[in-house]
Amino acid sequence: MSNRNWVCFSCRITNRKSSRFAGEAICSECGGELKNIGYKIPVPPKSKPKEWKKLQESLASQARELERVNFKAKVQKRHDLEQELVKLKALPVNDGRQSLIKQLEKRLKNA
């Protein structure tokens, strides 16, 4: 479980590396970049290009999905902060609230 599979999709080869490996892995056949696919995903045999293609596509769609989810979470967070600010600003002013508003505005700017 301490090893990860690094694959080259053009050559359909697998290279097992320690999970602690943090550098950039290069394919020994084509010199291209190897992709870390973890240890859970079964690697298809070299003789099955269709399965490799499927694996590549499913990884790409997973990455897109993750990006979409992250984007949505970011938008949601901004929205929550905005709502919170609207609520706070509607309340009577006091020092504690003012500094909270400032903090939230700062977070919103960085969100």
Pairing of strands 13-18, 35-36: unpaired
Least distance between Zn ion and beta carbon 56 (Å): 13
**CB closer to Zn ion out of 10 and 62:** 10
| Two structure tokens written together for 87 | 């609520």
**CB closer to Zn ion out of 56 and 84:** 56
Residues that bind Zn ion (CB under 5 A): 8, 10-11, 27, 29-30, 32
**CB closer to Zn ion out of 15 and 111:** 15
Q: Tokens 């709502």 correspond to what residue? A: 83
**CB closer to Zn ion out of 50 and 87:** 50
Burial 20-42 (b: 16+ CB within 10 A, else e): eeeeebebeeeeeebeebeeeee
Least distance between Zn ion and beta carbon 30 (Å): 3
Least distance between Zn ion and beta carbon 15 (Å): 10
Phi, psi (deg, nearest 5) at residue 45: -65, 150
